[in-house]
């Protein structure tokens, strides 16, 4: 990794009255990365990037983009940083081509408009008015406006909110194409799958604080080393299969437990649990109807580091039920800032 990050946030703090929206947030982004800021709504994500872009005045800490202090001199970073904010809209009657050319006129050395429209699959929509664009097309136009100044760093805030699954995946492909052009991307999202798919590294923010940081695989593997295999056993062989698995749990170091629920047998163990289960069933001539390995996700990371279930739409104080280490139930409260949109 480069010794000089292109984005540096150190001990950032922002309050609204008595509400603390961002509390001692620090991270650094290397050139060419897609770096994620992940967390539920109200966690402090948008306030963080607005301070980084010089759109809000922080109460403490430093924010730098390519060495420029964006709090002290926000104007100096405008040509280096492109921002697609969570809430933005254009006049209903402006066309795609008009909007991109208008924004290009704000910069001394803008990107090539035709090339940009081609990159974002908007060339064929140049004459279409904003009000007539689909949700996915509006998002692509937002990205075009963030990139038209030919920035070296782009902030994409809640890029795929409101899109259908196919449009979301198309947008993910687009983000990777933008990165391939040499743009460093700061991706703000509350979608776990999006962060896991796109981000080289990320921070998880909750209640204004960084609660986890690293690559998605590092964070997921850092929870623990257990793995689970789920099986559907044929009715005729189910009893014999469960017997085999119970003996395996009692004797094999890679198999820790076996549980049945709703016709599914879950076998939990080490990373090698699958290698223990399949040969044992084969030796007993039990052929499962279905075998699946259960992968951990970034949502599991959030639960592990906060002790709470992940509610991407949560904002403000809320109580959820979770289990403590002894298996008892307890009430936990989130104090995410109401005033922060993300």
pLDDT digits (tens, 9 = 90+) for 240-268: 999 999 999 999 999 999 999 888 999 99
Split at pLDDT 50, 70, 90, the class of 3 is low
According to the per-residue pLDDT averaged within each range, which of 83-97, 156-170, 177-191 is highest? Answer: 177-191
Residue 172 has pLDDT above 50, yes or no: yes
Q: Which is higher by pLDDT, 314 or 10? A: 10
Sign of CA dihedral 320, 324, 329, 333: negative
Question: 185 forms bridges with which residues in the sheet?
Answer: 34, 154
C-alpha to C-alpha distance for 98 and 164, rounded to whole angstroms = 27
C-alpha to C-alpha distance for 45 and 37, rounded to whole angstroms = 6
C-alpha to C-alpha distance for 256 and 269, rounded to whole angstroms = 5
Q: Write the CA distances from 34 to 26, 79, 155, 222, integer angstroms.
A: 17, 20, 10, 21
The alpha helices in the chain, defined as continuous H runs, are 45-52, 96-104, 113-119, 135-147, 165-180, 192-198, 216-221, 238-251, 273-283, 298-306
Q: Are 130 and 94 in contact (CB under 8 A)?
A: yes
Q: Are 303 and 280 in contact (CB under 8 A)?
A: no
C-alpha to C-alpha distance for 64 and 62, rounded to whole angstroms = 7
C-alpha to C-alpha distance for 235 and 73, rounded to whole angstroms = 70
Residue 52 has pLDDT above 70, yes or no: yes
Q: What is the pLDDT of residue 321?
A: 31
pTM over 0.75: yes
Q: Are 83 and 46 in contact (CB under 8 A)?
A: no
Locate tokens 């963080």: which residue?
A: 48
Split at pLDDT 50, 70, 90, the class of 314 is low
Q: What is the pLDDT of residue 221?
A: 84
Mean local confidence (pLDDT), 114-143? 90
Burial of residue 273 (number of CB atoms within 10 Å: 0-12, 13-18, 19+): buried
């Amino acid at each position: 990794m480069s010794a000089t990050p292109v984005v540096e946030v150190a001990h950032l703090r922002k309050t609204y009255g008595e509400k603390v929206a961002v509390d001692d947030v620090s991270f650094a982004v290397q050139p060419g990365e897609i770096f994620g800021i992940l967390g539920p709504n109200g966690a402090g994500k948008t306030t963080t990037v607005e301070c980084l872009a010089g759109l809000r005045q922080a109460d403490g800490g430093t924010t730098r983009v390519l060495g420029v202090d964006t709090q002290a001199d926000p104007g100096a970073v405008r040509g280096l940083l492109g921002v697609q904010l969570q809430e933005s809209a254009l006049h209903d009657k402006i066309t795609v081509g008009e909007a991109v050319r208008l924004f290009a006129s704000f910069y001394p050395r803008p990107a090539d408009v035709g090339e940009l429209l081609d990159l974002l699959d908007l060339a064929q929509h140049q004459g279409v008015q904003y009000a007539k664009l689909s949700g996915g097309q509006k998002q692509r136009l937002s990205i075009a406006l963030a990139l038209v100044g030919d920035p070296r760093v782009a902030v994409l805030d809640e890029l795929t909110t409101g899109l259908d699954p196919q449009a979301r995946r198309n947008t993910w492909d687009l983000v990777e194409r933008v990165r391939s052009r040499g743009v460093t991307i700061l991706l703000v999202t509350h979608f776990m799958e999006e962060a896991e798919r796109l981000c080289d590294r990320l921070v998880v923010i909750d209640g204004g604080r960084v609660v986890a940081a690293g690559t998605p695989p590092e964070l997921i593997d850092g929870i623990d080393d257990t793995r689970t295999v789920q099986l559907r056993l044929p009715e005729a062989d189910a009893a014999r299969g469960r017997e085999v698995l119970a003996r395996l749990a009692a004797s094999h170091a890679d198999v820790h437990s076996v549980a049945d629920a709703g016709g599914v047998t879950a076998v939990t163990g080490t990373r090698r649990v699958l290698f223990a289960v399949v040969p044992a069933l084969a030796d007993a001539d039990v052929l499962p109807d279905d075998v699946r390995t259960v992968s951990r996700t970034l949502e599991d990371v959030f639960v592990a580091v906060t002790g709470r279930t992940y509610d991407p739409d949560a904002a403000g104080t809320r109580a959820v039920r979770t289990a403590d280490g002894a298996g008892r139930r307890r009430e936990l409260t989130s104090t995410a800032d109401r005033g922060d949109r993300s």
